[in-house]
């Protein structure tokens, strides 16, 4: 045993790293963590990582004596014994107060304070088991250890030296620790020497994988000028890689409280050892399922090795980083089965940017769930942070610019009409063919980008009316349509659309079929009215958008009633309108169970004028919007000690806060010059209220194009 004590009257905490202080959090600890890949898509709920509630941990301190009535530790002590050697072999332990209470012995009292002191303790989670034993007799140390283990200790702190030799007494104690699942935290010693060169009279602790797997050797370090150093008195691992793998440095000196209430600094590896024991206590208090191999492994794995001068020869696994040890290690996962370590998806792979029709429905959601790190530790966080909001305005403007910059070619012949549109790079955006054989029937074929699908009720091009439907997010739509003229005033239309080759953000496995039937009436030459029914089934997507990981979708089914009106006002003026009201249900794969009771709406109304070389349009519209929806989740919320995942069902509203309305004014002018020269001017002004169905969002855009052809 070695004690280095510096008197000091300042009770402030000592810095424990370059520019930082260690802070062990209380029972309401919160740890904020930024999740990699958790954002994107124009917004979403924020997430705070919450460490679970703690369970007190019994920690044994085997030392040469204690003041068990010291105000710093007396309320934390749940058991104490004094162990004395008995000749010719063995030791006996006594709980008599007079044998225990040694007010003149400060070493063990300091060690206990560092772990569980009221003001200077490094954890609030320790219940102390104090075993009095001298470091002269292994029999006493072993007896105190066995008593503590039998009393439920999960950690045994040895600020004694040396304990690396496994004599028959300590072998019994160490075997007991292995069998009962307790961790052993040992002072490395204060000789300033390499432990690799230590001369052992008995087998070494490091010769047994069972013993080393539950042990940590505590060295002492200091912080200076933004880096760390090893205290000159501290022993160090040396060249032995096994010792290096179990060696951890904690910073000293450490604050302690004297019997008279003054503050002192306690130094040496005797002081660094309880700092590590306290860190281990906090881990076990928060995650009682951890084995000693796992809990000690976490402290070693998360140690700081990034500082200048790090060398495992002197620092082993590095310097204790208590805060990092509380953070997730490895890939964080969301279990989909009933056992931790079973089927799961990583948090990073779990993402669902809701379709634009949902607006900001996900932004204020709270979905308290548990994710698990590679050690099976559960962390509560807001799973809604993995839901995103589509950036409607950005996507729409990019699409509108593409339409304006593109070109359209038409061809008419007897019984045949074709139209082909290209973007500014010459790529195909839409190809349409209409065959009328003359018997009152019609066949139409179309291949189009989803965002280029126009509102058929509008007689002129209106940018704000394109690509707003349920299939607008798909890259390519292939449609086959058939029309039957029932009589001179009625026509029946039927068509089927296949949506494939999904665009960015949609799973490559996603696809959709949409089947539509429409009955149209023309009571007179100036009026056309139609009503229809549309059925849409999507695989792996909803409204053309898919989730990934634990938010993957199975299929969605929707049905809608459609209305369309066009009325000739005379003098080349026409009024038009369209509406679609529908319902939808979405089946999820794992954590997202379903999105049900979805009610949707989309409508447009306007007037248009068409001349020989000019056109004008004014339209008010609402793009596709979810008027009501509820999402159900089957969330992991914690775990039991045996690895059983605790689950909770949650249902939340997915209704947006706003209702987007677009007001568009459009004007187009064409000129035909000599030698086949053509030019066209297009001007569009679009004002959007509650952009993206977000209450209070406003936007105005002005777009123009001038196209020449020769």
Tell me the DSSP string of 313-351: HHHTT-B--HHHHHS--S--EEE-SSBTTSSEEETTT-B
Q: Which of 202-216, 311-325, 400-414 has the lowest mean pLDDT?
A: 400-414
Answer yes or no: is pLDDT of 14 > 80: no
Where, residue-wise, is CATH 3.40.50.200 in the chain?
4-20+53-326
* CATH number of the structural domain 461-472+485-709: 2.40.128
Which residue would you say has higher pLDDT here, 178 or 461? 178
**Beta partners for residue 42, in sequence order:** none
Q: Which whole number is the average pLDDT over 446-470?
A: 88
What gap in Å lies between CA 147 and CA 139, rounded to an integer? 12
Contact 304, 269 (CB under 8 A): no
**pLDDT interval class at 10 (50, 70, 90):** very low
Confidence (pLDDT) at 46: 53
φ/ψ of residue 148, rounded to 5: -65, -40
Please tell me what DSSP assigns to residue 692: G
Question: By C-alpha distance, which of 395, 411, 415 is closest to 403?
Answer: 395
**Interval 88-117 mean pLDDT:** 83
**267 strand-pairing partners:** 4
Average pLDDT estimate for 159-171 = 87
Tell me how far apart the alpha carbons of residues 333 and 550 are, in angstroms, rounded to a whole number.
10
Mean pLDDT for 172-182 is 97
Among 143-157, 250-264, 326-340, 447-461, name the one with the lowest average pLDDT: 447-461
Other CB atoms closer than 10 Å to residue 672's CB: what's the count?
A: 11
In CATH, which superfamily holds the domain spanning 4-20+53-326?
A: Peptidase S8/S53 domain (3.40.50.200)
pLDDT at residue number 15: 31
Q: How confident is the model at residue 452 (pLDDT cuts 50, 70, 90)?
A: confident
Contact in structure between 381 and 444 (CB atoms under 8 Å) = no
Position of tokens 């309320």?
75
Cα(286)–Cα(361) distance, integer angstroms: 34
Residue 306 CB neighbour total at 10 angstroms:
10
Mark out the alpha helices in 159-291 (DSSP H runs).
168-180, 209-212, 241-245, 269-286
Would you say residue 35 has pLDDT above 50? no
Rg of the chain on CA atoms, in Å: 37
Lowest mean pLDDT among 88-92, 221-225, 456-460: 88-92
Is residue 207 a contact partner of residue 200, using CB atoms and an 8 Å limit? no
Spatial distance between the Cα atoms of 632 and 375, rounded to a whole number of angstroms: 29
Q: Report, as an integer, the average pLDDT of 34-57.
A: 53
Q: Check: CB of residue 160 under 8 Å from CB of residue 83.
A: no
pLDDT at res. 502:
54
3-state secondary structure of 94: strand
Structure tokens, 370:
């548990």
Per-residue model confidence (pLDDT) at position 51: 56
Which of 130-144, 192-206, 210-224 is least confident?
192-206
**Does position 1 have pLDDT exceeding 70, yes or no?**
no
Q: What is the mean pLDDT of residues 5-33?
A: 30
516-574 pLDDT tens trace: 999 999 999 899 999 999 999 999 999 988 899 999 999 999 999 999 999 999 999 99
Backbone torsions φ then ψ of 419, nearest 5 degrees: -145, 130
Predicted local confidence at residue 3, as pLDDT: 40
pLDDT above 80 for 444: yes
The average pLDDT across 34-41 equals 32
DSSP 8-state symbol, 15: P
Whether 8 has a pLDDT exceeding 50, the answer reads: no
Q: What pLDDT digit, counting tens, does each position of 567-603 carry?
A: 999 999 999 999 999 999 999 999 999 999 999 999 9
For 662-688, the three-class secondary structure string (H helix, E strand, C coil) is EEEEEEEEEEECHHHCEEEEEEEEEEE
What value, to the nearest 5°, has the Cα angle with vertex 431 and ends 427 and 435?
160
Distance CA 378, CA 372 (A): 5
pLDDT averaged over the chain? 88
pLDDT of residue 454: 83
- Is pLDDT above 50 for 38? no
User: Element (H or E) spanning 594, and its range?
Assistant: strand 592-610
The segment(s) of the chain belonging to CATH 2.40.128 are 461-472+485-709
CB-CB contact of 346 with 354 (8 Å):
no
Model pLDDT, residue 41: 39
Mean predicted confidence (pLDDT) in 136-158:
95
pLDDT score for 710:
58
For residue 646, what are the CA distances in angstroms to 285, 286, 330?
19, 16, 22
Instruction: Write down the pLDDT at residue 21.
Output: 28
278: helix, coil or strand?
A: helix
DSSP 153: -
Is 242:211 a contact under the CB 8 Å cutoff?
no
- Tell me, yes or no, if the pTM score tops 0.85: no
DSSP string, 544-565: TB--BGGG-EEEEEEEEEEEEE
Query: Over 60: is that where the pLDDT of 16 sits?
Result: no
Pairing of strands 387-389, 407-413: unpaired
What's the pLDDT score for residue 164?
84
Query: Which residues have CB under 8 Å from 224's CB, separation 6+?
Result: none
DSSP 202: S
């Amino acid at each position: 045993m070695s004690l280095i004590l510096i008197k000091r009257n300042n009770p402030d905490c000592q810095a424990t790293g370059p520019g930082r202080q260690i802070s062990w959090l209380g029972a309401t600890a919160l740890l904020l963590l930024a999740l990699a890949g958790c954002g994107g898509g124009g917004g979403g709920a924020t997430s705070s990582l919450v460490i679970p509630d703690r369970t007190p941990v019994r920690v044994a301190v085997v030392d040469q004596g204690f003041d068990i009535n010291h105000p710093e530790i007396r309320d934390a002590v749940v058991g104490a014994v004094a162990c004395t050697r008995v000749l010719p072999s063995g030791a006996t332990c006594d709980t008599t107060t007079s044998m225990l209470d040694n007010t003149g012995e400060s070493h063990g009292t300091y060690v206990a304070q560092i772990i569980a002191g009221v003001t200077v303790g490094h954890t609030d989670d320790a219940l102390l088991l104090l075993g009095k034993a001298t470091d002269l007799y292994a029999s006493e140390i072993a007896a105190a250890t066995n008593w503590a283990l039998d009393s439920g200790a999960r950690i045994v702190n040895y600020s004694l030296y040396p304990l690396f030799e496994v004599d028959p007494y300590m072998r019994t104690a160490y075997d007991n620790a292995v069998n009962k699942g307790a961790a052993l935290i040992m002072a490395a010693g204060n000789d300033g020497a390499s432990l690799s060169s230590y001369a052992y009279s008995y087998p070494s602790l490091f010769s047994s994988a069972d013993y080393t797997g539950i042990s940590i050797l505590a060295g002492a370090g200091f912080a200076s000028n933004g880096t760390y150093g090893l205290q000159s008195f501290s022993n160090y691992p040396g060249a032995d890689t096994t010792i290096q793998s179990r060696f951890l440095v904690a910073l000293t000196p450490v604050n302690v409280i004297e019997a008279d209430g003054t503050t002192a600094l306690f130094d040496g590896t005797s002081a660094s050892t309880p700092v590590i024991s306290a860190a281990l206590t906090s881990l076990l208090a928060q995650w009682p399922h951890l084995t000693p191999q796992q809990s000690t492994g976490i402290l070693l794995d998360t140690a700081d090795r990034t500082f200048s001068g790090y060398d495992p020869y002197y620092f082993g696994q590095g310097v204790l980083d208590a805060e990092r040890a509380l953070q997730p290690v490895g890939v964080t996962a969301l279990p989909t089965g009933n056992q931790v370590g079973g089927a799961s998806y990583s948090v990073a792979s779990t993402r669902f940017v809701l379709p634009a029709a949902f607006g900001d429905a996900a932004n204020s959601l709270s979905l308290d769930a548990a994710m698990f790190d590679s050690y099976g530790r559960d962390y509560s966080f807001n799973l809604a942070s993995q839901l995103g909001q589509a950036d409607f305005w950005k996507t729409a403007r990019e699409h509108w610019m593409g339409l304006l910059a593109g070109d359209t070619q038409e061809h008419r012949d007897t019984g045949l009409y074709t139209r082909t549109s290209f973007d500014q790079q010459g790529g195909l955006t839409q190809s349409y063919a209409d065959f009328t054989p003359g018997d009152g029937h019609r066949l139409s074929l179309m291949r189009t980008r989803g965002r280029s699908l126009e509102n058929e009720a509008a007689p002129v091009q209106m940018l704000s009316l394109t690509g707003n439907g349920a299939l607008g997010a798909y890259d390519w739509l292939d449609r086959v349509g058939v029309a039957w003229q029932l009589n001179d005033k009625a026509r029946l239309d039927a068509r089927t659309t296949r949506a494939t080759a999904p665009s960015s953000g949609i799973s490559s496995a996603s696809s959709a079929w949409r089947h539509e039937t429409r009955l149209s009436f023309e009571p007179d030459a100036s009026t056309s009215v139609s009503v229809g029914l549309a059925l849409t089934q999507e695989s792996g997507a909803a409204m053309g958008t898919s989730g990934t990981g634990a938010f993957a979708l199975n299929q969605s089914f929707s049905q809608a009633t459609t209305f369309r009106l066009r009325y000739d006002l005379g003098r080349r003026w026409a009024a038009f309108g369209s509406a679609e009201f529908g319902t939808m249900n979405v089946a999820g794969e794992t954590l997202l169970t379903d999105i049900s009771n979805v009610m949707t709406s989309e409508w447009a109304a306007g007037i248009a004028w068409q001349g020989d070389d000019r056109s004008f349009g004014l339209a008010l519209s609402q793009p596709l919007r979810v008027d009501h929806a509820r999402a159900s989740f089957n969330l992991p919320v914690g775990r039991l000690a045996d690895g059983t995942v605790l689950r909770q069902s949650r249902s939340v509203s997915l209704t947006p806060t706003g209702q987007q309305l677009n007001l568009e004014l459009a004007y187009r002018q064409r000129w035909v010059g000599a030698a086949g020269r053509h030019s066209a001017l297009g001007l569009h002004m679009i004002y959007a209220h509650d952009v993206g169905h977000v209450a209070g969002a406003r936007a105005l855009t002005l777009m123009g194009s001038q196209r020449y052809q020769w």
